[in-house]
Amino acid sequence: MPSGYTEDEVRNILSCIDRKTPEGKKDYVFILLGVDLGLRVSDIINLKMSDIKWNVSTIELVQQKTGEFISLPLTDNLKWVLLDYLMNARPNTEHQNVFIRSLAPYFPYTSGGHYYNRLNKYFKLAEIKTEGKHHGMHSLRHSLAARLLSDDVPITVISETLGHKYANVTRDYIRIDIEKLRLVALEVPSNV
């Protein structure tokens, strides 16, 4: 089963990040990219400065996993925290990746391990119970999908948001929404 976290849990995770430090500014942005846009960690790792289209407020990239192009909205909140990171925390380097190591030598991350460790630091600080659940960056995609589904967003829109080519992939991704199933449940006759 996919693992997701409630809106309150996600809010608690984000509130534990010290956004006054360079590392905190970076952490907040990359976690928000997972929370608000559902970006895969591979796409966050490979996100380039040129993928951010400031003039039209979008992030446009070719997904690493699928090779498919995706255009996602750059919300005002995301825009401001991204600008804060780029202007006040990102090391000055010739590398075009958005996320660069904070300590010399300054170069882009090459694996998701750093993001996993950083995210789990905030799961612990927020006292989020992760036992028996996935708790990596991908769980933020599942949390977004579940949140959109609970907001009655059509499956096709959720599919587009997650960059899935087919809606049936998204259905498997979300699996079941127990509360919605209860609304349509039929009573079983006692004589069966």
**pLDDT for the residue 173:** 58
Token output for 51: 């993928």
Mean pLDDT score of the chain: 84
Helices assigned H by DSSP within the chain:
7-15, 22-37, 41-45, 76-88, 113-125, 137-150, 155-162, 167-174, 178-184
Do 42 and 61 touch, CB atoms closer than 8 A?
no
Do 64 and 43 touch, CB atoms closer than 8 A?
yes
- Checking if the pLDDT of 93 tops 70, the result is yes
Interatomic CA distance for residues 10 and 27, integer angstroms = 14
Q: What is the mean pLDDT of residues 130-153?
A: 75
Query: At which residue do the structure tokens 């966050």 appear?
Result: 44
- Checking if the pLDDT of 133 tops 80, the result is no
- Checking if the pLDDT of 28 tops 80, the result is yes
- Checking if the pLDDT of 1 tops 90, the result is no
pTM of the model: 0.79
Looking at beta carbons, which pairs linking 63-69 to residues 24 or more positions away fall under 8 Å? 63/163, 64/40, 65/40, 66/163, 66/165, 68/163, 68/165
**pLDDT for the residue 131:** 84
Give pLDDT tens digits for 42-79: 999 999 999 999 999 999 999 998 898 999 999 999 99
**CATH top class, domain 7-182:** mainly alpha
Instruction: Give the DSSP letter string of 74-123.
Output: --HHHHHHHHHHHHHTS---S--BS-B-SSSS--B--STHHHHHHHHHHH
Domain limits, the chain = 7-182
**pLDDT for the residue 138:** 78
- Checking if the pLDDT of 142 tops 90, the result is no
